Amino acid sequence: MEANFWHRKWADNEIGFHASEANPLLVKHFGALSLTTGSRVFVPLCGKTLDIAWLLAQGYRVVGAELSRLAIEQLFEGLGVKPEIAQVGNILHFRAESIDVFVGDIFDLSAETLGQVDAVYDRAALVALPEDMRKRYTRHLLEITQSAPQLLITFEYDQSLQPGPPFSISSAEVEQHYSDHYALTLAESQDVAGGLKGKCAATESAWLLHNS
């Protein structure tokens, strides 16, 4: 998936993937990670998701990574916060109270730059990447977060009926990426109301990845 694909989506406001409320599976299942107030939650490929506002409202600190500067400018505008901005290598660091977002290629983000991660909330990263990039992404995520526990949201559907993103990710693929590092629990799987993009039947699943 080329970077220009996502830059064009944001520039043209083609952001049907941006939800108008916090993800219900996040609200329902994030507590199962048993984090304490002030824990730092990493949200990869975060866009301007309202999930971040929800996490902040629960008393967590949030650190995000996103390719599009436009998305993050809109995120902070929506939060009503003016960030400090600094250059860190090839990445821009947007910072305000309880929130840091690194803008650039996530593969340029190191563990040292990212800092402490107590948990990962992946709603929009794994599903956004084509198959040939997902293995590289999951390896990198494990490295930069020191295999922090995760709440992972996936979709599963007939990929031949609908091109991604979001891409279809089977339970077998989740296990392939993560079973060596975590105890995996399928917390919930539900039908997508009206089908994926209104075009094909799909299920949305919430996975809890605890350190084994």
Confirm or deny that 136 is annotated as ligand binding: no
The answer to whether 159 and 187 have CB atoms below 8 angstroms apart is no
- Report whether 66 belongs to an annotated binding site: yes
Q: Are 84 and 73 in contact (CB under 8 A)?
A: no
With H, G, I as helix, E, B as strand and everything else as coil, classify residue 184: strand
Q: Could you say which DSSP state residue 35 is in?
A: P
186 assigned to a ligand binding site: no
Which residues, other chains included, contact 85 with Cβ-Cβ below 8 Å and sequence gap of 6+? 92, 93, 94, 95
CB 210 within 8 A of CB 149: yes
Residue type for position 148 = A
Instruction: State yes or no: 61 annotated in a binding site.
Output: no
Binding residues for S-adenosyl-L-methionine: 10, 45, 66, 123
| Residue list, annotated binding site | 10, 45, 66, 123
